[in-house]
Amino acid sequence: MNYETPGATREAILAAATQMMNEVGPAGLRVAEVARAAGMTTGAIYAHFVDRQDLISAVRAAQVRASHAEMKDHSSDRLQRMSELLTSAEPLSSSKGYREFLMRTIIGEDKAPAWNWVKNAVAAEFDETLAHLMRDIWRDRAEEIGKMLESARNSGKLRTDSDVFAMKEIALAFYYGMAVITHTRDIDEAAAERIVASWQEMWTTFESKK
pLDDT tens digits for range 126-175: 778 778 878 888 888 899 999 999 999 998 999 999 999 999 999 888 88
Provide CB contacts within 8 A for 209, sequence distance 6+.
none
Give the pLDDT of residue 4.
Answer: 72
Cα–Cα distance for residue pair 151/145, rounded to 1 Å: 10
Kindly state the average pLDDT of the residues 88-103: 92
Q: Residue 138 belongs to a domain with what CATH number? A: 1.10.357
Provide CB contacts within 8 A for 181, sequence distance 6+.
187
- The residue segments making up the domain with residue 45 are 1-49
Q: How many domains does the chain have?
A: 2
Domain assignment present for residue 20? The answer is yes
Residue 26 and residue 79 in one domain: no
Domain assignment present for residue 4? The answer is yes
**157 SS3 class:** coil
pTM, two decimals, is 0.69
Residue 118 and residue 192 in one domain: yes
Alpha helical stretches, state H, the chain: 6-24, 31-38, 42-46, 52-87, 96-106, 111-123, 128-154, 164-184, 189-202
Q: Residue 5 belongs to a domain with what CATH number? A: 1.10.10.60
Residue 77 and residue 35 in one domain: no
Give the pLDDT of residue 186.
Answer: 82
Domain assignment present for residue 210? The answer is no
Residue 19 and residue 102 in one domain: no
